[in-house]
Structure 1
Amino acid sequence: MTIRDTGHHVPHGDRTEPRGTAPLRAAPLGPFVVASLLALAGVFGTYLFFVRTTTGQYIDESALVEATQLYGGRAARAGLRFLDDLPALSVGVGFLALGYAALVRRRWLASLVALAAAVGANLATQVLKADVFTRPFRGIETITENSLPSGHTTLAASAAAAVFLVASPRWRPLVAFAGGTYAVGTGAATLVNQWHRPADIVAAFLVVAVFMAPAAWIVLRTGPEWNSWGGFGSHVGSLRLWIVLPTLAGLVAAAVAVVELVRIAPVLGQETSTTNYFWAGLAFIMISGYLVSTAASWLVGSATKGHPA
């Protein structure tokens, strides 16, 4: 479709863009491959440190144990109800979004790619957890079965990522923030209820990124006319606020992690940990979840803005 610069607006799929906005040229593959490979390295790095080393196991297990000292009663029951409903909720929201994109917006290929990536991430999580990764005994009292990556977190994060991929470009920054918040909340709930250690959740975010990065590149090639947009700040769904908020949350979480770990460091620490590892673990979950969602918004946004036809 050729767009003439007449100063008027024309409908373009589910969006209305200025006629001066040119259709998108095919996005370069390189950044998406690099993002996928970095996420893959992160999965194995997380496993090697937090599962294969004594220090990593101690930090991870301590966060899980300390969760019982902070939350109980109504908070625990609410978290358990959320986790019980999570599979149906995630699958339902994902299928509604993909079905809408396919049937109403006629984005069949994009919806199939997003669905395939989500299914691939969940299958990979189960294979890694059951058949690839093992949890050796390192002198730490813990459940010997491997639980990395978290299946619940993978399901929630992959559903959010699939919705992000088929969303209208101008809504993607907001969808990335909302989806990241949903995934972070899911991960936090699994920690609070002692279902998963922090590293399990971080690895789940990274597994989803491994599959969704190349899927995003394919989706961008399926609809160059509807993937172009006006850039950050051009629409309420594209406000820079949706990048700033998760970035600030990640920075605050990083500061919390540093403070909590310094308090119990062998040389600098002055405290005997009671909840420090829990707060540090929760901070790691926030950092990784929001980092992945913000990186996705930036990567896809930079690949879809300013590409002349």
Structure 2
Amino acid sequence: MDFRSEPTDQHPGRGLGRTFVVATLACLAALAATYFFFVRTTTGQFIDESALVEAVEIHGTAGKAANKLLDSLPAVSVLIATVVVLFVTILRRRWTAAGIAMAACVGANVTTQILKDLVPVRPYRGIETLEFNSLPSGHTTLAASAAAAVFLVVSPRWRPLAGFLGGSFAVATGVSTLINQWHRPADVVAAFLVVAAFMLPAGWLIIRTGPRWNAWTGYGEHWAASRLWLALPMLAGLASAALASFALLRIAPGPGQEGSTTNYFWAGTSLIVIAGYLATVAGVWLFGHAARRHGAPRR
């Protein structure tokens, strides 16, 4: 029997709906905490700004590659998202899902620009820094939201692969903005959280409106649904956490720090990788769990 064609529950239970609500609220709380610590406190400003300043040390070849990525990012993001979403929509007739995903994508990008204008300038805490607000990162929001839109419209068995590729694209974009000194690490993390706060409710609506195709039998039913795509970002996140711990143990954060190192840069880069891949793993797991519970029993 093909369980995917015979969903057992046309609408997910209230418990699953509460999970999406809690996840969305957690993203909003994390966004507020990111702003408060990295913008409003001395220690947060120092760590964030130090990572930005130390990016000069490795700009060189990496900076040239990052510049090329950032210059082409708007066109690449829009092109990828448009082609994939249109292809899936026309082929599978997922018009409602496509509309919801694109609306969430637009909402995340508009919100980022609004926050840039509304969030107060950085208060002076003894740290030499640019006063204008750069949180969240617009380029990172664009890349992450485009990837998330693709993630939402593809079938559950394609989501693990789509999540890994999209998460990697968003992480690479965020790191590139740091290397080029366009944004601080916190700006990138905030962008991830803005996108997540929009895409989680959108995903819930897509599951509600497309119950039949939002069903699967679990990991391993297809090569794109391999647990490998969940393991890779987990390993990358753990490796980055180890790197961040090592970098921060070598330095004592504080305004009195002397000398030029790259420890804060590597710690900031690790923070971006951890946040991006944590969101990837959480999203793949949550939507996979929702699809299985929603439509197909375990084999």
TM-score (norm 1): 0.90
Write out aligned runs for 1:238-253 (5 A). Answer: 238-253=225-240
Q: Structure 2 vs 1, CA of residues 308 and 60 (structure 1 numbering), >3 Å: closer, same or farther?
A: closer
Runs (4+) off by over 4 Å:
270-273
CA separation in 2, counterparts of 1:111 and 1:66?
41
1:42 aligns with 2:27: no
CA distance 1:234–1:152, shift in 2 (3 Å): same
- Given that residues 215 and 295 in structure 2 are in contact (C-alpha distance below 8 angstroms), is that contact kept between their aligned partners in structure 1? no
Are 1:189 and 2:176 an aligned pair? yes
Q: Please give the per-residue CA displacement for 1:216-237, whole angstroms capped at 9, x wherever unaligned.
A: 1001112111111111122111
Aligned equivalent of 1:57: 45
Distance 1:33 1:133, change over 3 A: farther
Q: Give the structure 1 partner of residue 163 of structure 2.
A: 176
1:204 matched to 2:168? The reply is no
State the Cα RMSD in Å: 1.9
TM-score, scaled relative to structure 2: 0.93
Report what 1:91 is aligned to: 78
In 1, the alpha carbon distance for the partners of 2:194 and 2:115 equals 10
Q: Which runs of 5+ in 2 are unaligned?
A: none
After superposition, residues 74-89 of structure 1 pair within 5 angstroms as: 74-89=61-76
Q: What does the per-residue CA deviation read over 1:193-238, in whole Å, with 9 as the maximum and x for residues that have no partner?
A: 0000000000000000000001010011121111111111221111
Identity %: 58
The one-character-per-residue Cα deviations of 1:77-116 (angstroms, maximum 9, x if unpaired) are: 2211110100011011111122122222110000000001
Q: Per-residue displacement from partner, 1:166-200 (whole Å, max 9, x unpaired)? A: 01110100100100000000000000000000000
Deviation for aligned residue 1:293:
1.1
1:26 partnered with 2:11: yes
| Whole-angstrom distance in 1 between the partners of 2:295 and 2:125 | 56
For residues 178 and 75 of structure 1, the distance between their equivalents in structure 2, rounded to whole angstroms, comes to 21
Distance 2:212 2:105 in 1: 24
Distance 2:76 2:83 in 1: 11
Letter in 2 for 1:46: T
Return the alpha-carbon distance in structure 1 between the equivalents of residues 294 and 67 of structure 2.
Answer: 46
Which residue, 266, 272, 276 being the options, matches 1:285?
A: 272
Query: Size of the alignment, in residue pairs?
Result: 291
Secondary structure in 2 aligned to 1:227?
A: coil
Distance in 2 (CA, whole Å) between partners of 1:194 and 1:137 is 20
Task: Tell me which of 136, 143, 149 is aligned to 1:162.
Answer: 149
- In structure 1, C-alpha distance between the alignment counterparts of 2:253 and 2:194, rounded to whole Å: 33
Candidates 147, 155, 166, aligned match of 2:134: 147
CA deviations 1:31-54 (Å, max 9, x no partner) are: 111111100111110000000111
Q: Who wins on radius of gyration, i.e. which is larger?
A: 1
Q: Which amino acid aligns with 1:166?
A: V
Q: How many Å separate the matches in 1 of 2:240 and 2:219?
A: 25
Whole-Å separation in 2 of the counterparts to 1:179 and 1:239: 16
Q: Which amino acid aligns with 1:97?
A: V
**Rounded Cα–Cα distance in structure 2 between residues aligned with 1:140 and 1:43:** 22
Q: Could you tell me how far apart the structure 1 residues matched to 2:171 and 2:57 are? A: 21
Counterpart of 1:71, as a letter, is H
Moved more, 274-283 or 124-133: 124-133
- Shift of the alpha carbon at 1:308? 5.2
Determine the C-alpha separation between the residues in 2 that align with 1:51 and 1:256.
Answer: 24
2:139 alignment partner AA: H
Is 1:274 the counterpart of 2:261? The answer is yes
Match of 1:13 in 2: none
CA separation in 2, counterparts of 1:167 and 1:34? 24
How far 1:59 sits from its partner (Å)? 0.4
CA distance in 1, matches of 2:295, 2:182: 49
Asked whether 1:260 is paired with 2:241, we answer: no
Moved more, 22-31 or 193-202: 22-31
